A = this chain, B = another copy of it.
Amino acid sequence: MGGTGPGPRLAPTPRTRLRRKRERGSTERRVIDAVLDEGLVCHVAFTDAGTPYAVPMAYARSGDVLYLHGASGNRTLRALADGAPACVTVTLVDGLVLARSAFHHSMNYRSVMLFGSAGRVEGEVEQLAVAAALLDHMVPGRSADARAPTASERRATLMLRFPIEEGTAKIRTGGPLEEPDDLDLAIWAGVLPFELSVGPGVPEPDLPDGVVTPPYVAGSRRRR
């Protein structure tokens, strides 16, 4: 955590050490957190009765914790709450990489893979904080506007904390690699960048008169 180095890192473990293309890997928290904070959906891998599952879920990061949530009866959340080992992956695709050769086609992406086990979020104070974090992860500022969860809504929700302790980021950027012999081919090569726009918002038809349209509905925000 010193001020002179590149910032905090996660310690590498056998399952987070990249075996191939290591230059694409990073255990820097700054890099990992940026991916987690930009993504909206993670895929949670866990095993139940011998079957592996990859389940998409919303999430939010707060400090060293990734929060997951859903209905109390949700099978995935219950398995995780019971301590099932899990892998949580967030993947952002930034563009398509078109090389002269089929072989060197690729994608630009940033992904984070975390390993560990989840625990339950208990108690009103933390549950309300997590509910706010989940909303503000979707739409910054939204938690100040939405009606907060009631006690019965909190009971109907299972909230989990997943530690950001063991994991790694993997990032590809830039144009295609090419075989030297391919460079003279008359084939277009380059990158098709992605841009994701969010909004402008489509209001519910039954909004009461006079409801203020909050600034985050305008849709100027973009993610990639």
Contact = CB atoms under 8 A, between A and B. Distances in A.
A22 interface: no
Interface residues of A, number: 95
Given A75-B19, A149-B101, A188-B214, A56 B143 contact: no
Interface in A12-40: 15, 19-20, 40
Contact of A198 (B45, B105, B192): B192
Contacts of A43: 43, 45, 54, 56, 89, 91
B20 A185 contact: no
A53 B45 contact: yes
Interface string A89-128: 1010101101111110101010101010000000000000
A131 B102 contact: yes
B192 A212 contact: no
B186 A208 contact: yes
Interface string A212-223: 111001010000
A170 to B, nearest CB: 9
A50 B39 CA distance: 27
